[in-house]
Amino acid sequence: MGRRHPVAAEGLSLYPSGVPLGSHRIPMRESADLTLDGMAGLVADLLDVLDLDDVTLVHSDWGGGLFLTALGRGPRVARLVILPCEAFENFPPGLPGKMATLAVRIPGGVSLAARQLRIARLRRLPMLWGWMVTRPGDPRLDRRMRAWTEPVLADARIRRDLVKYAKSVLDDADLIRKTEALRGFEGDALVLWSPDNRVMPPEHGPRLAGLLPHGRYVGIRGAAVLSMLDDPEAVAREIGGFLTGSAARRK
């Protein structure tokens, strides 16, 4: 029997904020599958290795974890919390995603982009973090950005991992099909979207909630993509209420 786990947060992102896309400190093996499916498989592998069941999987920014149902790797996941993230054909997401994809194809582009994220004035640009949070120039982000970008700047192997993923081939029809496989997810789901953001289409929130048999949509007004940074109290309140209500229904 696997161990129960209330929340397993999944935070993979092209804007180095998780692993293995630029903020991880131990490089992946050179042969590692870092395609979108391979990355989703890493999430499932982690749950398997930790032997976790009844997991609440939280998605933010990176949307590959939504594909666990399509890949047949989701039995350990009992609930989904979906914050603004890639979905359907929106891979890579919006202008920032397209600029990140361009950066990995230019010699030195990854290091240049990472260094720019450390400068508050440059973070305000739409192709960097200008559309990711409502206050991209906030000096309180400086320490976080330095920590997030240090691995990719310090280790060529980390840069290799990021480039390997960002250069993987994506097919819109396949992405849509794998997202829509969420129709087969039978657990409770909360889609906690930011309808005012400019990177993850506002209509994707209700669309995802409509796919999920037990999905519920809640909008976080005034937040950008990373609503947990823009309005942490609202996000915590909604997730707490969702988990409490889901537990009560299961009794």
d(CA 230, CA 226): 7
Beta-carbon contacts of residue 98 (< 8 Å; ≥ 6 apart): 92, 127
Beta-carbon contacts of residue 154 (< 8 Å; ≥ 6 apart): none
Beta-carbon contacts of residue 105 (< 8 Å; ≥ 6 apart): 167
Please name each of the domains of the chain with its CATH number. Answer: 3-250 (3.40.50.1820)
- The pLDDT tens digits for 85-138 are 999 999 999 999 999 899 999 999 999 999 999 999 999 999 999 999 999 999
pLDDT higher than 90, residue 20: no
- The pLDDT tens digits for 129-173 are 999 999 999 998 999 899 999 999 999 999 999 999 999 999 999
CB 67 within 8 A of CB 179: yes
Beta-carbon contacts of residue 201 (< 8 Å; ≥ 6 apart): 90
Q: What is the pLDDT of residue 22?
A: 86
- The pLDDT tens digits for 186-238 are 999 999 999 999 999 999 999 999 999 999 999 999 999 999 999 999 999 99
Pairing relationship of beta strands 215-219 and 55-61 according to DSSP bridges: unpaired
Classify residue 26 by its DSSP letter: S
CB 179 within 8 A of CB 205: no
CB 242 within 8 A of CB 81: yes
Name the pTM for this structure: 0.91
CB 117 within 8 A of CB 150: no
Tokens of residue 244, six digits: 């409490």
